[in-house]
Amino acid sequence: MKSSLRRIGAPTFSLAAGVAALLAAGALAVQSAPAAVAAAVNCIQTLPGIDANPAPEGYDNRPNLFVKGGFTVVQNAAEMEGKAVVLGDASVTKASGIYNVGTAGVGSGLWPQPGTDHLVVGGSLSANSGVTVDVGANNTPGGGAVSAGGDVTVAKLSTNGGKVTTNDSSAADAYRDLPARIQTTSASYAALPATGIVSVTGWGIDLVGDGTSATQVFTLDGKALGAAVRSLEVKNVPATSRMIINVTGGPQVTLGLNALLLNGVPVPISDSTFGELAGHMLWNYTEAQDVHVTGSAQVPGSMLVPSEAGTTTIDVPGYNGRVYVNGDFVHGGSGSEVHAYPFPDELTTCTVDPTPQPTTTSPVPTETATSPVPTETATSPVPTETATSPVPTETATSPVPTETATSPVPTETSTSAPATSAPATSTAPVATPSSSTSAPVNGSATPTAGGSGDLAVTGASSALLPTALAAFGFLVIGAVTLLTVRGRGRH
């Protein structure tokens, strides 16, 4: 801002122009800041497919993973995108490698805001010595914070600038009401009447909607699934409709999937069609205690497991949606990832902190408002300089009309005297410089040779009249005297 102050203070500046320039600059600043913010601070309106994300596509501070019991990472599971909240203990027991939390190299790109909690553990957090737990990678500035109610014993913990809080008994208090809300929400979904038809064969699960309902409800018999791996096909469901799949039966249910089709066409996982399916689908395991999601597909849809008695295990290459589990949770498989896709419901929707951690919107307007350019310009007002340096006053002293008045007397006839006597009125300003002594201070006064016409508006005409009349009288007397002398000489 200081450099722009110097530019605005140039000699051509006027106060009105400065105010206009300031308002224009402020308007640009206020408009540009939210543009940068809108790209990252808001929840994503159209959910993208799975893609590489060197930076966030949007922010979401709602947990993507919630576990009431304990959370364990086994085998070679790779990433948990979005905020992870565990009321019990969390342990990364795989032998080596990296386990990402909060952000993902490949996913939806919907991350917690930088510097906020990415991993919240009500109990203790631990990891094998050969494992790096990387929290908030690429989520700048601020990385991902870790808050734990107990000890954090992770030899290789990277938070990318995020804060680590240990032994804080209140670390997970904000989420202790979620188990009851999961049960209530699950029960309300289970009570909804089915609007679509479910068909289970040896090779596929077909969900056929009614084509019109804003919420498409399906009932799937979990016992009919067995251990088989099948394709999942969605038919006749509007793109904007929510899909709730109530999976009945238990106590064990296995959902094995190897492909995803929409109206008979395979869905590319990098396409936004996949993201919209993942963000509009929810699996509600109403009765199961142990749930196993397996297979070779990228599975779309959030899940609710209200039972506190069992364990939910995910070991597919990718699971895409909220995972809200009241029991224990195990993340396994080879390179398995959980990606953040919120479901449009009060419990599982996307939320953003009303006061983002990186305060990107406040500096621009505040700085513009508190650096008043007009105040600085007002102290060095160029227009005032011009007004206080009456160029005509200095110009009036330079023509030396008094000299011209005296020189014509010996050489010219009386006809020339009146011609040169007219400028004699400009000799009056010689006595007036005392009324504007500041004029000679500015060197810029001399270039403005404004002439005697400018002087007439300075209010000095009342002082000039007596002097002019006296000078004219002396000239007339001198002319008469010359004529008389010459006339006598001729005689």
317-339 tens-digit pLDDT:
999 999 999 999 999 999 999 99
Residue 488's Cβ-count burial label (10 Å; 0-12, 13-18, 19+) is exposed
Q: What 3-state DSSP class applies to 202?
A: coil
Residue 469 is predicted with a pLDDT of 55
pLDDT interval class at 45 (50, 70, 90): confident
Please choose, from the candidates 54, 67, 34, the residue with its C-alpha nearest in 3D space to the C-alpha of residue 307: 67
Considering only CA atoms, which of 202, 251, 265, 199 is closest in space to residue 229?
202
User: Of the candidates 176, 195, 189, 119, which has an alpha carbon nearest to the alpha carbon of residue 346?
Assistant: 189
> What values do phi and psi take at 466, rounded to 5?
-60, -40
d(CA 234, CA 236): 7
Tell me the backbone φ, ψ of residue 271, rounded to 5 degrees: -90, 150
Which residues neighbour 245 within 8 Å (Cβ) at sequence distance 6 or greater? Answer: 207, 218, 219, 220, 281, 282, 283, 284, 301
Distance (Å, whole) CA 281 – CA 326: 20
Containing H/E element for 367? helix 363-369
3-state DSSP call for residue 232? Answer: strand
Provide the CA 202 distance to its chain's centre, in angstroms: 51
Residue 146 has pLDDT above 70, yes or no: yes
Comparing 119 with 490, the larger pLDDT belongs to 119
Which band of pLDDT confidence, cut at 50, 70 and 90, is reported for residue 7? very low
Q: Which two tokens stand for residue 486?
A: 């010459």
Structure tokens that stand for 89 in this block: 């203990």
pLDDT at position 142, please? 97
pLDDT for 53: 87
Q: CB-side exposure of 446: number of CA atoms within 13 Å?
A: 5
pLDDT on residue 475: 61
CB 43 within 8 A of CB 352: yes
User: Which pLDDT score is estimated for 439?
Assistant: 37
Q: Which long-range contacts (CB under 8 A, 24 or more apart) does 416-422 make?
A: 417/475, 417/478, 417/479, 418/475, 421/471, 421/472, 421/475
Percent of the chain whose predicted confidence (pLDDT) is above 90: 61
**3-state DSSP call for residue 325?**
strand
Residues 6 or more apart whose CB falls under 8 angstroms from that of 235 comprise 206, 207, 208, 209, 262, 263, 264
| Distance (Å) of CA 78 to CA 60, 72, 130, 203, 395 | 21, 12, 14, 29, 86
Evaluate if residue 357 carries a pLDDT over 60: no
pLDDT digits (tens, 9 = 90+) for 174-188: 999 999 999 999 999
